[in-house]
C-alpha cells in the first residue's frame, strides 16, 4: 500500500504541499485510494508531494512515542526534507470511534479539540499540537483529514473533493475563501477550536 508521487508545476514558485496518508496502523489501506485521485490538473503551482505509509504499529500521533517509531521517523524525515507550507495528514477511523473523535468534551479528556464533520462522516481537525508548534510556522497550513476506514462512495467523494480543494489552494487566504464557500460553519468552528488550543497560532 506504499505510494509516492511528486507533482511539480511552473518554475517552482508557489506552495510546497505534503500529503501523507496512513501514518499508523492499517490506515494506509484506505488513504491510498484518495491520494491516487489527485492529478496534475489539481495543482495550480508549486509542488505537491504525496506519500502513503506502509502498515505499521498503531501509536497515536498525540503520543510523543509515535515520533520515535519507524513510521513517525519517516513522517519527520519527509517534513524536514520537503519543508512544506501545507501539511495534510490523511487518516481513517473505525465507525465506533466517531463519537469519541467528535466529542465536545474531547479537549478536557485528552487535551485536543474535537474533530469537525464536513459531511458524510468526513472529519477535519488539527495535526498533533506537538508537531504543529515545533515544525511549522503560524502561516503554514496544517490539517488532519479523516474518513471512515470502510467509506461509502459518498464519503470517499467528499474526501477526495476536499483534498482537491487543498491541493488547489494557492495560499492560506485562498484556502480559507474556498473552504468557507463550501463549509462556512465548519471553518468558523475550526478557527474557534484553534484559538482555544493555540491562542494566536491557528492551524487553519
Q: pLDDT, tens digit, for every residue of 124-178?
A: 998 998 899 899 988 899 999 999 999 999 999 999 999 999 999 999 999 999 9
- How far apart (Å, rounded) are the C-alpha atoms in residues 102 and 114? 5
Residue pair 21/31 in contact by the 8 Å Cβ criterion: yes
Phi, psi of 166 (to 5 degrees): -65, -45
- How far apart (Å, rounded) are the C-alpha atoms in residues 30 and 25? 11
pLDDT value at position 201?
53
Candidates 79, 88, 75, 80; CA nearest to 43 is 88
Q: How confident is the model at residue 84 (pLDDT cuts 50, 70, 90)?
A: very high
Q: What is the pLDDT of residues 170-200, one digit of tens each?
A: 999 999 999 999 999 999 999 888 877 776 6
- How far apart (Å, rounded) are the C-alpha atoms in residues 40 and 60? 32
Q: What is the pLDDT of residues 16-41, one digit of tens each?
A: 999 999 999 999 999 999 999 999 99
- How far apart (Å, rounded) are the C-alpha atoms in residues 199 and 202? 7
Q: What is the pLDDT of residues 102-125, one digit of tens each?
A: 999 998 899 889 999 999 999 999
Is the domain spanning 3-198 CATH 3.40.630? The answer is: yes
The reported pTM is 0.94
Q: How confident is the model at residue 1 (pLDDT cuts 50, 70, 90)?
A: low
Per-domain boundaries in the chain:
3-198
Angle subtended by helix axes 153-168 and 172-182, to nearest 10: 150
pLDDT value at position 202?
52
Mean pLDDT value across the chain: 92
If 0-12 CB within 10 Å is exposed, 13-18 middle and 19+ buried, where does residue 17 land?
buried
Q: Which three cell numbers stand for residue 112?
A: 485536543
Amino acid at each position: 500500500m506504499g505510494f509516492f508521487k511528486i507533482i511539480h508545476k511552473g518554475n517552482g514558485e508557489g506552495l510546497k504541499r505534503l500529503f501523507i496518508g496512513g501514518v499508523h496502523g492499517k490506515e494506509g489501506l484506505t488513504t491510498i485510494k484518495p491520494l491516487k485521485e489527485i492529478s496534475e490538473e489539481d495543482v495550480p503551482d508549486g509542488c505537491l508531494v504525496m506519500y502513503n505509509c506502509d502498515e505499521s504499529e498503531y501509536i497515536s500521533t498525540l503520543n510523543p512515542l509515535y515520533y520515535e517509531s519507524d513510521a513517525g521517523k519517516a513522517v519527520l524525515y519527509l517534513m524536514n526534507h520537503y519543508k512544506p507550507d501545507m501539511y495534510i495528514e490523511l487518516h481513517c477511523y473505525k465507525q465506533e470511534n466517531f463519537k469519541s473523535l467528535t466529542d465536545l468534551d474531547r479537549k478536557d479528556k485528552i487535551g485536543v479539540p474535537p474533530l469537525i464533520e464536513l459531511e458524510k462522516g468526513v472529519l477535519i481537525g488539527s495535526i498533533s499540537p506537538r508537531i504543529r508548534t515545533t515544525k511549522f510556522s503560524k502561516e503554514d497550513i496544517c490539517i488532519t483529514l479523516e474518513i471512515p476506514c470502510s467509506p461509502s462512495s459518498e464519503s470517499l467523494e467528499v474526501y477526495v473533493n476536499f483534498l482537491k480543494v487543498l491541493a488547489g489552494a494557492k495560499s492560506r487566504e485562498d484556502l480559507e475563501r474556498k473552504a468557507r464557500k463550501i463549509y462556512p460553519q465548519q471553518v468558523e468552528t475550526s478557527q474557534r477550536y484553534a484559538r482555544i488550543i493555540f491562542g494566536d497560532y491557528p492551524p487553519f
